[in-house]
């Protein structure tokens, strides 16, 4: 019996990972090297320093970190401004409400990042709790943020469904003991998400009811 739903954030609700990839890839190009989608995909859902990869690969002298981050940030901000909520997300949130299920977010990102974007897209009232990896909480694939989200909703992980787009996220949800549906995006499509209980092409391709019906009772 599913009693709560916990959504990942980056790459699932908003495609924040593509602006992140594109802006870093452009910085790599400035220094005559390349960040591939594969490199990037491996870092998704975990906290990982792209700048360290850049330092290994750059074929031209690099300016100080601050300057590199500023170049990346400017482009990143432009790309973020053009983001849209991913297809199917609103319908899923509506369905969750219709079933009377509480909803939270579990994310490896800092809570300031998640709450600012939720506010900007007027999604904040939809979520009863946002469990991020601030402070000492380890990022996914550690299960901690999922366990914190389930605790906040007063639901045992075995009765909760995680919605994820990345391998690290699926691993975190399964390690927490939750059910998990994997919905890869353009960047995570090449990852192995088979540890999830259900895999969907897009949230727009199946409803919450369809997914719950596929889980063992």
**What amino acid positions are annotated as catalytic residues?**
8, 10
Q: How far apart are CA 10 and CA 128, in angstroms?
A: 18
Select the span of 6-14, 71-79, 102-110, 193-201 touching other proteins (CB under 8 A).
Answer: 102-110
Residue from the set 69, 98, 190, 205 that interacts with other proteins by CB under 8 A? 98
Sites for other proteins among residues 103-132 (CB under 8 A): 103-104, 125-129
213 part of the interface to other proteins, by CB under 8 A: no
Query: Is position 26 an interface residue for other proteins (rule: CB under 8 A)?
Result: no
Query: Under the criterion CB under 8 A, does residue 210 sit at the interface with other proteins?
Result: no
Cα distance between residue 102 and residue 86, in whole Å: 21
From the CB of 138, what's the least distance to other proteins, in Å?
24
Tell me how far, at minimum, the Cβ of 155 lies from other proteins, in Å: 7
- One symbol per residue from 142 to 171: x for binding other proteins (CB under 8 A), - otherwise; what is it? ----------xxxx----------------
Q: How far is the CB of 175 from other proteins (least distance, A)?
A: 23
Smallest separation, CB 186 to other proteins (Å): 28
- Name the minimum Å distance from CB 176 to other proteins: 18
> Residue 4 pairs with which residues in a beta bridge?
160
Candidates 11, 45, 88, 102: give the one binding other proteins (CB under 8 A).
102
Binding residues for other proteins, per CB under 8 A? 1, 3-4, 93-94, 96-104, 125-129, 152-155
């Amino acid at each position: 019996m599913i009693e709560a739903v916990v959504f990942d954030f980056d790459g699932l609700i908003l495609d924040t990972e593509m602006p992140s990839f594109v802006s870093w890839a452009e910085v790599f190009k400035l220094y005559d090297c390349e960040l591939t989608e594969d490199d990037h995909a491996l870092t998704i859902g975990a906290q990982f320093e792209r700048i360290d990869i850049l330092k290994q690969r750059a074929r031209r002298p690099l300016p100080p970190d601050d300057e590199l981050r500023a170049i990346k940030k400017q482009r990143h901000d432009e790309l973020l401004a053009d983001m849209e909520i991913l297809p199917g997300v609103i319908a899923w949130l509506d369905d969750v409400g219709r079933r009377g299920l509480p909803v939270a977010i579990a994310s490896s990102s800092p809570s300031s990042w998640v709450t600012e974007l939720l506010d900007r897209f007027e999604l904040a009232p939809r979520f009863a709790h946002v469990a991020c990896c601030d402070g000492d909480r380890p990022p996914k694939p550690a299960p901690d943020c999922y366990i914190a989200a389930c605790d906040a909703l007063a639901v045992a992980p075995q009765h909760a469904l995680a919605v994820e787009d990345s391998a690290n996220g699926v691993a975190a949800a399964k390690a927490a003991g939750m059910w998990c549906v994997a919905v890869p995006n353009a960047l995570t499509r090449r990852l192995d998400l088979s540890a999830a209980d259900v895999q969907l092409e897009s949230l727009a391709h199946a409803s919450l009811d369809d997914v719950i019906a596929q889980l063992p009772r």
